[in-house]
Chain A
């Protein structure tokens, strides 16, 4: 998981004399000058060369909450809800917002295990896997590379597609993700993300969880 960005220097906060500040008073209505027209750009395909960068202050995308407590009630259990067995030392915390559940692991370090359920195919496996790869700064895959990266695991719920990606660079991030579609049409994502070392330690337990998946 990415570190929260730490502000070092904000030009908008540069020391300003009161005389300069009063100039701000001249700003009449219509500040911002934001265009209200549809703009068009032709750009090189982003997914082919580079993953989408996270914004300076990342939004909280679906199922990607970073562990802060949420004031949203846990989502309702979908029909034919997925169930799992937790290894020793693991516990389940209620989800919130779009997140179905969060797992607390017994391992130290930056590590998070989450369960997200989305209705329907949720954009498809390739697009979602590429989105996850983008989150750890890896380039996108095509269908052939996706098939190569995929391992499968047999569970009671059926076949679980498993992906294990580690980022480049000196401080490596790693993501192990299980992807399974249930007969009610929902798509489930179980993800273990964090620094490479704690993810490596927790992977065996996480694979046990994936192997234990079954329908309610």
Chain B
């Protein structure tokens, strides 16, 4: 009885019907996800449609539940593996094995990309040297010890940690931050006369009112992430401060002769090397405003490798360096500012491996079928 059920499930899992249904669902998801990007932005739509098991509450789907990309992808992978296992293990089928193995590698590559790919950007002006990349959306509260005249000690508290609230100890310092309130997105305004006092009693925030706003995910929108934090050191409170991406004014306090600044900002990852932008070019076709070329000439200086060299990064000709890929992505400030999109994906080679496997598999399969066909023809002639 159990064997019969297992056999039936196995037959379903390896069936082409299941493949067709899942591919149809996937096509729908790709269509909805593409349409949703208009309102939700690329990342928001991908998270809602492709990286969820069930798509919930989406206006495009009339708020009805729909299988998400994670579920469809998982079932498709199981279907592919079941189908692969079902292929007879023989030289005659080696091409098919290679093709299926290539597809499994492709899925694995996308799995790794989704799990581990980090998208950041490096924004740099002509003549400027930059040694960090920063996130597009994720924030950090930077507690920076600026006491040393040469170095800054940067302690980065990620927004995900702030969102949990409570006490956050800053290792290596005597400071503990009490996160009293966290706003993923908020709007700030000057405090109106007679309005309830701000939660902040130190810094600029004491005169600022804050209103929570829905989180935005569109590509051209940014959350004004904010929080009320109370630094405590040596048993002494340094007051409650409002920290926000919307606050440009610097804020700092001094504990036992060391000065700490507080800044909510896009999350940074500092690099062991630095880029200096020597030249940015924005060429147009003569007599038109149509862009012909965008390029950044950067000096890469890496003391750990005793390296200093010029690199030209231009469209579709990225720089691959130390596990990161730097693409020419944007520009600004009257062509004096260049934005490089930075992608770090440990599985970037897998799609290429997959393509090679699938290509070889198809060639092998073609050769085997051709040989069989020629043999049959030969047999017919002889017969």
Interface residues of A (CB under 8 A from B): 2-13, 18-28, 30-31, 33-46, 48-51, 53-57, 59-64, 72-73, 75-76, 78-79, 97-98, 100, 117-120, 122-124, 127-128, 131, 137, 167-171, 173, 186, 195
- Cα–Cα, bound, A51→B130 (Å): 9
Which of B88-96, B153-161, B232-240 forms part of the interface with chain A? B153-161
Contact A98-B246, Cβ < 8 Å, known A18-B23, A40-B153, A120-B206:
yes
Partner of B330, one of A8, A131, A169: A8
- Cα–Cα, bound, A42→B332 (Å): 29
**Chain A contact residues: over half helix, strand or loop, or mixed?**
loop
Flag if A40 contacts B171 (CB, 8 Å).
yes
A214, chain B: closest CB distance, angstroms = 20
Flag if B190 contacts A3 (CB, 8 Å).
no
Flag if A26 contacts B123 (CB, 8 Å).
no
Counted as pairs of residues, one from A and one from B, with CB atoms less than 8 Å apart, the total is: 307
Contact A56-B189, Cβ < 8 Å, known A12-B119, A23-B106, A38-B161:
no
Which residues from B are CB-within-8-Å of A137?
125-128, 333, 336-337
Which residues from A are CB-within-8-Å of B222?
57, 59-60
Give the residue name and chain of the B residue nearest to A28 (CB): B70
**Chain B contact residues: over half helix, strand or loop, or mixed?**
mixed
- Cα–Cα, bound, A12→B157 (Å): 26
Which residues from A are CB-within-8-Å of B151?
42-45
Flag if A41 contacts B156 (CB, 8 Å).
yes
Which residues from A are CB-within-8-Å of B171?
38, 40
- Cα–Cα, bound, A118→B138 (Å): 27
The 9 closest A-B pairs by CB, nearest first: A25-B73, A23-B110, A119-B207, A171-B334, A61-B248, A27-B114, A75-B190, A25-B69, A123-B250
Flag if A9 contacts B341 (CB, 8 Å).
yes
- Cα–Cα, bound, A163→B152 (Å): 27
Flag if A97 contacts B294 (CB, 8 Å).
no
Interface residues of B (CB under 8 A from A): 22-23, 26-27, 29-30, 42-43, 46-47, 50-51, 68-74, 76-77, 103, 106-111, 113-116, 118-119, 121, 123-132, 134, 136, 138, 146, 148-158, 160-161, 168-172, 187-193, 203-204, 206-208, 219-220, 222, 224, 245-252, 266, 270, 291, 294, 315-316, 325, 327-337, 339, 341, 343, 351
Query: What are 8 pairs between A and B in contact, CB < 8 Å?
Result: A5-B330, A18-B30, A38-B157, A44-B151, A56-B121, A57-B222, A76-B193, A123-B250
Flag if A169 contacts B126 (CB, 8 Å).
yes
Which residues from B are CB-within-8-Å of A59?
222, 224, 245-246, 266
